[in-house]
Every structure is written in C-alpha cells, then in structure tokens.
Amino acid sequence: MSEYFNVSHVFGEDVFSDKVMQERLPKKAYKALKKTIEDGTELDLATADVIAAAMKDWAIEKGATHYTHWFQPLTGVTAEKHDSFITAPNPDGTVLMEFSGKELIKGEPDASSFPSGGLRATFEARGYTAWDCTSPAFVRHDAAGAILCIPTAFCSYTGEALDQKTPLLRSMEAINTQALRLLRLFGNTTSKKVTPSVGPEQEYFLVDEKKFLQRKDLIFTGRTLFGAMPPKGQELDDHYFGTIRQRIAGFMKDVNLELWKLGVTAKTQHNEVAPAQHELAPIYAEANVAVDHNQIVMQTLKRVACQHGMKCLLHEKPFAGVNGSGKHNNWSITTDDGINLLDPGKTPHENMQFLLVLVCILKAVDTHADLLRESAADPGNDHRLGANEAPPAIVSIFLGEQLQDVLSQLINTGIATYSIKGGTLETGVKTLPSLAKDATDRNRTSPFAFTGNKFEFRMVGSRDSIASPNIVLNTIVAEAFCEACDVLEKADNFEDALHDIIKSYARDHQRIVFNGNGYSDEWVAEAERRGLPNIKSMVDAIPTLVTDKAIALFEKFGVFTKAELESRVEIKYENYAKVINIEARSMIDIASKQIIPAVIKYTKSLADTVNAVSAAGAETSVQVELLNETSALLADTKVALAKLVDVVDQAAGMEEGRDRAVFFHDVVMAAMAELRDPVDKLEMIVDKDMWPMPSYGDLLFEV
Ligand code: ADP
Ligand code: MG
C-alpha cells in the first residue's frame, strides 16, 4: 500500500457514522436513533427495521457479505460469529440480501463456551448480545472479505453482565448522574450530559515472523519462557524516541491507514524504551468508544504485522530483563458542552468546583486503591507491577508542584490563597522562543498522575482490555461525588459546607498523594507506614472484588450485582490457573523435546572432540572443563524439569478455585523459574548453531 492517500478523505470511510446516518436514514428514524444514543430511550422495532436496512445497503456497497455482533466476553479479547446476509433461495434459485431490525438489535450466540463464572449455569444457558448504538458500527476488511461489525453488549437471559461493555455502560450512567448533581450545585443549568473521556497509549513489540515461528514459547504463550540476556539491552537509551526504521515505518503507515478508515483517531507513534518496542496513541474519546477502539487497535496491530512478515507481541512481559509493555489510561470527565471537570484553569486555588472534584478523586482513589490495583491485574502484568519495573504495585497519586501546594494550603490553613505559576523556560539560546512551563511537572514513576487536565492511570497491562480500570474509575468517583452532593445539597450555607468538605477530604486522604520516586525502596516502606495497600500479584488482588466495601459500592451504583462480582472472581482464578498451566506445559515441552536433545548433541560433539584431540596427543583440559560444566547444568535441568512435571500434575488434580490459582502462583511459578535458570546458563555455553531457537539478541535486534 504505497499509494498516496488523503487522510481527511479516508478517515471514517468504513464507519456507519453520524454523517452516513444523516444521509441514509429517513429524518424520523434518524431522530429516533439520536434520541436513543443521547438519552437512552428505547428504539421501536419498526425504526430498527429501517435502520437495519440502511445499514445493510451501506455495508453491501462497501463489499460486506456478512454481519456480526461484535462483543467482549470475559476472555479479554473480542468475540464474533459471522452471519451472511443471504436469505433462503427463491423458487428460481436466486437469493436476497436481508438484515432485519430484530437481527440488528439482538443476537443469540451459542454462548455456552464463554466464561460465565457459574452465572449461566445457575439461571439459564442462553446468552444474548444487544446492540450498543452509542458505539458506531463499522465494516472491517480482512481475509474473510468485508464484515459489518455491530458493537454489542453480552448478557445472560436474566440480564447479568457476561462481558466488559455492560458494566462499563452502567458505570458511565453512574458518573453522569452524580457529576450532573455536582455541576448543578455550582449553578450549571446548561450541561445535559457528563461522560468520561479516555485516551489509552498502547505499547507493543514487533518481532520477525520467521524467528517468532521458531519459538514455541512465543507461539503458545505470547512471551519467552527461556532466554539469556543479549550483550546489549536497553541501557544506552538509544531506542526511545529514536529514528523509526523503514520496515517499522511501513508497518506504522499501514496501521494508521487501517485505523483511520475505521474512525480510530491514531495520533502519536514512536519507539519505546526497549529495543523492538513501540507505542501508538489515539486522540481520546468517550470511554465506551475508547474501549472498543482499543480492541480494534490491538487487532489491527496484529493483523498488519502479519502482512509485513512480523508478529506483534502484546504480552506485558515478552522478554525477561527487558522493559515490559503497558497501557497508560488517560482519563478525564467532560460535559456535552465542552467543560472538562479536571481543568484547573490558571488559578486552581480559586476554582472551587475543580478543587471539589480533585479532593473527591483523592478520596475515591484512597478508599478504593485496592480495586484500582485489581482492575489492572492480569497474569502477564504480574511480571511488571510489583516486580522491578514501572509502575509500582502501590497505588498513589502524583499531583505536581502547583496542586500539591494548593492542597497543602488547604490542609494547613483551611483556605488556599495563591497558585504557584509555571513560569518560563530559559534555554539560553536567543534564537529559540522562550517556552511557557507547565505548572504540573511529569513524574514517570507514579501509577496515577495528574497531567494538566486529566489523570493518567499507568498500571494497565498492554494486552488487557481497558474496560475494567474505567469501570472502577467511573464508579469510585461517582461514589465520592454522590457523598459530597448528599451533604452539599442539604447545607444551609453552601459556601461554608463546600469549604469544609474540601478541607476535610484533602486532610483525610492526603496519604494517597506521593510526589517522589515510586520505584524506590523507601517508598515501599513509607507506603506501608501510611497504611496503603501493596498488592503484589493477581491472585492477591482478586479478593478485593468481593469485599463488603466493593459489593456495597458496585451495588449502590448498579454497576455489578454481588452475583456478578462473585462470578468474575471465579473466572479470574480460573483464567490465572489456565494461563500459568499453559506456560508450565510449554516449558516442559520445550525443555524435553528441544533443549535437552540439543544439549546432548552438544555434549556428544564435545566428547568426540576430546577423544579426537587426545588421540592426536594434545591437551584437552578446556574441552573437558566445558563438557563437565555442560553436563552439570544438563543434570540440573533434568532435575528441575522433573520437579515442574510433578507440580503441574499435582495442580491438575486440584479443584478449580482460589487454592489452585494460589498453588500455580506460589509453587508452579517457582518451579518454572528453577527450570529456566540452568537453561539460560546453557544457552550461554552451547554452540549457537546447535541452540534450538533464536536468541533474545536475534529477536530484539534483528527485526
Ligand atoms: P504522553 O506519552 O506524553 O503521556 P501521548 O500523546 O502519547 O502523551 O498520549 C496522551 C493521551 O492522553 C492521548 O491519547 C490523548 O488524546 C489523551 N488525552 C489528552 N487529553 C485528555 C483528556 N482531557 N482526557 C482523556 N484523555 C486525554
Ligand atoms: Mg505516550
């Protein structure tokens, strides 16, 4: 695809956008649909028929042969089942292309194989998909041809959420209601709707496809399970923001084109810290659309990589000892008339509405730090959070100098009288313009940082859906708004009550604020003194979903029922156990069938050499030493392998649930590390030509 393209022409060309709807729908149907999108009113079947027909005609003109209800079950990826538009043949053998309102609104996939955590078993086996008209339908072109994709929610017969989208939409309702209450208190009568805006920055690795295919660990698990460090890592910092190589640039160009056609606002692209690591960020969108778009981004990265002879690794930690990948979830709250509730203005100390919003967020994050941590938990992210890497597993908030100072004034004197100014940046070079400095500095080590007019939640894993973190953010902030409004709406003197609330929230929750180095050991000790949770792994994070505090929160705002939360807990334990089980079995397979045989061949060649050299009457001490060293490591490998086989067998005999997941975390993971250790040492000794797979150096530096 080297032809010239005009971005403004291709942007959104495969989206059933507002513009397309205006052009193609009768006025009455368009109005009814807009009302549904904006106010959530129910759509009648007759109107749905009209919309479905228009959508079908439009999609067929784009080459579509099928439609699919595109949904996000609790597998972390999207699911789809394709139905072609054709009807049963006419008597003359021809077919028609049809798509009814009923088919648009509701689907009934045979959903018994999707995780439901016992929800469907107890009630009803069926699952339903329901059209989410707030996220636009689109036509996707791939090897299957062109398919009309209809974003849908996925629920059980009795309405329990079996997906990511349903609770996300519910949490958006919750924050909308509570934020409007808050705005009304400040005399805002014009804003009609408040929505969370989300901009996720997606990190990923690219490796050569031929090399990828020689690594069974990458094929089966998405990460390397063995691998010695290459002579060069990321220590020179020469990759971050470095020149993008031509092969990668060609890939990025095609990714952008594909995304733009689908209405995804791909905006920034650059090389990341680790070799072969890159990042893509779109312009932020409404949370619901941002979540769908992030799924499209991940799928597009993978598909286009294949077209370029590469593989895109979305795993959080594809390579031990090399930076992993995450997803910074930028989040703010915006009204339909363009007010960002997180915009402090030039003088934040005078902006009482902003200060209230800010202290509510402090309260929300402090009260539910455990839930936020859980929202970023997945098996891959365990290798980042709480390990020696960004960001730490302890949730804290970075405010920056200016807001920190306003907060201190509030806590100390009860009133803030000034805001530190950003000032200008002097470069000392006359020909350069002087730059206005931001009053909010950056702190790359904070897991939850205020960055000007938004918060950036940096714990999310690169492969994970961003639905969970946004569900939690929306709901916990809705709760804090609600509690503040409950008091303020009843107050005799609004000014006084507001002042008191801001001061008390700031004081009571200042422990969550930390502006220092989040990677330091001192912070771990300090956080413990402050009583902040330090939840190190996914298995430890999962129970936070069903504490009394969490159940009360989610039930109060109608985001999750207790049964839904319990089902998610079950699914997560199962998922964790399955992932580690696959990793352990892959290690066993690779060690038994590839590594041990290769090392045996190497020892034989050494032994042959020893014999030949000594027969020739020469000195063989080096060869003998190498042979002994290799044989010893081989013996260690065999012992560690036997142990791993044993613990995996033990796990297989355990009942599903928490104990089994914990066993995988504590026992199986440890056995995996024990097997990896001698193998990585062997890789440094054995003849490269005999080693059965490409090395880290081959994978990371020869893309
Ligand atoms: P950086 O890497 O410097 O943090 P990027 O430009 O890579 O910044 O990504 C920042 C992300 O934050 C983008 O997706 C951007 O659209 C998003 N963003 C900017 N403003 C807001 C906002 N008010 N609410 C939510 N997201 C925002
Ligand atoms: Mg970025």
pLDDT digits (tens, 9 = 90+) for 524-541: 999 999 999 999 999 999
Residue 469's nearest CA partner among 601, 368, 574, 336 is 368
Q: Rounded to an integer, what is the distance from CA 163 to the centroid of its chain?
A: 15
- Using DSSP's 3-state secondary structure scheme, residue 454 falls into coil
In the numeric block, the tokens 């026992």 are attached to 667
Taking CB atoms within 8 Å and a gap of at least 24, the contacts of 651-654 are 651/577, 651/581, 652/581
Q: Whose CA is nearest to atom 24 of ligand 1?
A: 332
φ, ψ (nearest 5 deg) of residue 13: -65, -20
CB 644 within 8 A of CB 669: no
Residue 533's nearest CA partner among 362, 367, 364, 370 is 370
pLDDT digits (tens, 9 = 90+) for 356-384: 999 999 999 999 999 999 999 999 999 99
Q: Which residues contact 132 (CB under 8 A, 6 or more apart)?
A: 151, 152, 153, 165, 169, 288
101 lines ligand 1 (CB under 6 A): no
Which of 116-130, 283-297, 464-478 is predicted with the least confidence, judged by mean pLDDT? 116-130
Ligand 1 atom, smallest distance to 343 CA: 23
pLDDT on residue 684: 96
281 lines ligand 1 (CB under 6 A): yes
| pLDDT above 60: residue 124 | no
H/E stretch holding 397: strand 397-398
Partners of 340 in the β-ladder: 334
470 lines ligand 1 (CB under 6 A): no
pLDDT digits (tens, 9 = 90+) for 629-671: 999 999 999 999 999 999 999 999 999 999 999 999 999 999 9
CA distances from 247 to 107, 252, 414, 480, 485 (A): 42, 9, 58, 49, 55
Q: How far apart are CA 171 and CA 177, in angstroms?
A: 10
Residue 509's nearest CA partner among 401, 395, 402, 419 is 395
Q: How far apart are CA 329 and CA 494, in angstroms?
A: 34
Average pLDDT over residues 444-466: 94
Mean pLDDT, all residues of the chain: 93
- Give the chain's length: 703
Structure tokens at 596: 């041990």
DSSP string, 418-451: ------EE--S-TTSPPEEPPSS---TT-SEEE-
- Beta strand 310-313 pairing with 82-84: unpaired
Q: How far apart are CA 636 and CA 678, in angstroms?
A: 6
Ligand 1 atom, smallest distance to 281 CA: 14
| pLDDT above 70: residue 122 | no
Ligand nearest to the CA of 283: 1
CA distances from 507 to 258, 355, 366 (A): 49, 13, 12
| pLDDT above 80: residue 453 | yes
pLDDT on residue 421: 78
Average pLDDT over residues 544-568: 97
269 lines ligand 1 (CB under 6 A): no
- What separation in Å is there between the alpha carbon of 202 and the centre of ligand 2? 8
pLDDT band per the 50, 70, 90 thresholds, residue 315: very high
- What separation in Å is there between the alpha carbon of 324 and the centre of ligand 2? 15
283 lines ligand 1 (CB under 6 A): yes
What DSSP character marks residue 182? H
| pLDDT above 90: residue 1 | no
H/E stretch holding 596: helix 596-615
| pLDDT above 90: residue 158 | no
H/E stretch holding 334: strand 327-335
Q: How far apart are CA 205 and CA 703, in angstroms?
A: 10
223 lines ligand 1 (CB under 6 A): no
CB 623 within 8 A of CB 609: yes
pLDDT on residue 125: 64
What DSSP character marks residue 272? -
Give the rounded percent of residues in the chain with a pLDDT score beyond 90. 79
DSSP string, 633-669: HHHHHHHHHHHHHHHHHHHHTSPSSHHHHHHIIIIIH
- What separation in Å is there between the alpha carbon of 368 and the centre of ligand 1? 24
- Using DSSP's 3-state secondary structure scheme, residue 85 falls into coil
203 lines ligand 1 (CB under 6 A): no
Q: At what angle do helices 165-185 and 352-367 cross, to 10 degrees?
A: 140
- What separation in Å is there between the alpha carbon of 418 and the centre of ligand 1? 28
- What separation in Å is there between the alpha carbon of 283 and the centre of ligand 1? 7
Give the rounded percent of residues in the chain with a pLDDT score beyond 70. 96
Q: How far apart are CA 343 and CA 333, in angstroms?
A: 9
In the numeric block, the tokens 């496809």 are attached to 209
Ligand 1 atom, smallest distance to 453 CA: 23
Q: What domains does the chain contain, in order, with CATH numbers?
A: 7-162 (3.10.20.70), 171-222+236-420+438-560 (3.30.590.10), 575-701 (1.20.120.1560)
Structure tokens at 490: 């009843």
Partners of 327 in the β-ladder: 202
683 lines ligand 1 (CB under 6 A): no
Average pLDDT over residues 437-462: 86
| pLDDT above 70: residue 427 | no
* Ramachandran bin of 159, using left for φ above 0, alpha for ψ from -120 to 50, beta for the remaining angles: left
What DSSP character marks residue 263? T
Ligand nearest to the CA of 267: 1
- What separation in Å is there between the alpha carbon of 121 and the centre of ligand 2? 43
Q: How far apart are CA 551 and CA 479, in angstroms?
A: 13
CB 511 within 8 A of CB 532: yes
- What separation in Å is there between the alpha carbon of 456 and the centre of ligand 1? 8
- What separation in Å is there between the alpha carbon of 621 and the centre of ligand 1? 61
CA distances from 529 to 122, 511, 523, 526 (A): 44, 10, 10, 5
Q: How far apart are CA 559 and CA 551, in angstroms?
A: 10
| pLDDT above 90: residue 262 | yes
H/E stretch holding 258: helix 246-261
| pLDDT above 70: residue 436 | no
454 lines ligand 1 (CB under 6 A): yes
Which of 104-118, 176-190, 420-434 is predicted with the least confidence, judged by mean pLDDT? 420-434
Q: Whose CA is nearest to atom 1 of ligand 1?
A: 201
CB 70 within 8 A of CB 82: no
Q: How buried is 327 (Cβ within 10 angstroms: 0-12 exposed, 13-18 middle, 19+ buried)?
A: buried
- What separation in Å is there between the alpha carbon of 283 and the centre of ligand 2? 11
CA angle 111, 115, 117 (to 5 degrees): 120
653 vs 520, which has greater pLDDT? Answer: 653
Ligand nearest to the CA of 449: 1
630 lines ligand 1 (CB under 6 A): no
197 lines ligand 1 (CB under 6 A): yes
pLDDT on residue 439: 60
635 lines ligand 1 (CB under 6 A): no
CB 416 within 8 A of CB 406: yes
